[in-house]
Amino acid sequence: MNRLNVTIGICAYNEEKNITNLLNALLNQKIEKLLIEEILVISDGSTDRTNEIVKEFSCKNNKIKLVELKERRGKSFAINEILKLAKSSIVVLESADTIPEEIAIETLCLPLRDIKVGATTARAIPLNSSNDFIGFIINLEWNLHHRLSNIKPKFGELIAFRNVIRNITPTTVDEETIAAKINSLGYSLKYVPEARFYKKGPNSIKDFLSQRRRNHAGHLFLYKQTRYKPITLNGLLIFFVLLFNFPKRHPLWVISAILLDILSRILGRFDFLRGKCDYRWKVIPSTKELSV
C-alpha cells in the first residue's frame, strides 16, 4: 500500500516557549504508513526567538522550512501561506501551542485513505489541573467537546485534510472554516479521538471568557457566510450531553461553568451583531506555557 504524503503546517506567533517541544514531537512521530514530506512553519510577525529556534532546526533537518511574515496579519493569513506552499496530497495543520502524542499524526491521517473522507480532527487533552475552579471548567468543557465530536466533529488545533482548497477567508475559527470548505466539496468529516494532543487552556476567568467570546462570534460569522453550523452552536444539544454526563463532584462549579458559557455566548453574539471580528486576536500568555 502506498504511503500517504503529508505536509505539516504550523502557524506561529511568538511561540519560543513551545516551538522546540512541538518540532521535537513532530520529528519523533511513529509513522509506518505516512511520508512526512515537509514541515512548514509560518511565523506571523514573531518578535521573540521563534524564528531563530526554527532556523536552528531547519539547519539540521531540511524537511523543516521557515517562512517569515514581516508583520502580524492573523492565523488565517498564515494558513493561506501553508495552502499556497504545501506540496503533499494531505495537509496537517497544528497550532504552535500544542504537543501531539507520538502516534497522533499517523492516527489522524489514516482515515483519509477513504476517498469519501475529506478532513479529520484530533482530540485535545487539557494540561490544566481539574483541582481548581478554572482548571475544572477547562476539563469539563473539553470533555464535552469530545462527546459532542462523536456526534458531529468539532474541528480544533490539530486537523488533517485533503489538499483541495487554495485559501480561506479571514476568520477567527480557522479550522472550522477549513472543515466547512472541505464539506462543501462533498467530502465527509471525521473525528479521530485516538489521535490526541496536549494543550493548555486559560488559567483565569477573564481569559476564558475572552477566548470563548471570540470563538462564539467566529462561529456565528461562519454560519452566516456558509450556512455551516459548528456543533458548539447547538446549545440544546450541549445541555442534554451535559445532563447525561453531569460530573459527580463540584456541582456548584458546574453551574458556574454553565453561567460563564452563557455569558461568553451573549458577549460573542454582541460582537457578531456589531460586526466585530479581530483576526489578530490578543494572545493569552497562560496558554503558552506547556509541559507534558
Q: Tell me what percent of the residues of the chain surpass a pLDDT of 70.
A: 95
Tell whether the model's pLDDT for residue 161 goes beyond 80.
Answer: yes
pLDDT level of residue 1 (50, 70, 90 thresholds): low
Strand 90-95 to strand 158-162: parallel, antiparallel, or no bridges (unpaired)? antiparallel
pLDDT > 80? residue 141: yes
Mean pLDDT of the 132-139 span: 96
User: Residue 243 pLDDT more than 60?
Assistant: yes
Asked whether the beta carbons of 229 and 218 are under 8 A apart, the reply is no
pLDDT > 90: percent of the chain: 88
**Structure confidence at residue 284 as a pLDDT band (50, 70, 90):** low
Each residue of 35-63: pLDDT tens digit? Answer: 999 999 999 999 999 999 999 999 999 99
Angle in degrees, CA 145, 150, 152, rounded to 5: 85
Greater model confidence, 125 or 283: 125
- Residue 283 has a pLDDT of 66
Of the pLDDT bands very low, low, confident and very high (cuts 50, 70, 90), residue 148 is very high
CA distances for 102 relative to 86, 122, 139, 195, angstroms: 23, 13, 22, 9
pLDDT per position as a tens digit, 70-98: 999 899 999 999 999 999 999 999 999 99
In this structure, is the dihedral angle defined by the CA atoms of residues 143, 149, 155 and 160, taken in order, positive or negative? positive
Domains of the chain: 4-288 (3.90.550.10)
Please name the helix (run of DSSP H) or strand (run of DSSP E) that holds residue 24, with its range, or none: helix 19-27
Mean pLDDT over each residue of the chain, to the nearest integer: 93
CA–CA dist 283, 13 (Å, integer):
9
Give the number of other Cβ atoms within 10 Å of residue 176's Cβ.
27
Predicted confidence at residue 276, as pLDDT, reads 81
pLDDT at 235: 87
The CA distance from 182 to 162, in Å, is 8
| pTM of the predicted structure, to 2 decimals | 0.92
pLDDT over threshold 60, residue 291: no
Give pLDDT, residue 249: 87
Name the nearest CA neighbour of 102 among 230, 197, 232, 213.
197
CA distances from 144 to 79, 147, 217, 244 (A): 27, 5, 20, 11
Instruction: Supply 216's cell numbers.
Output: 462564539
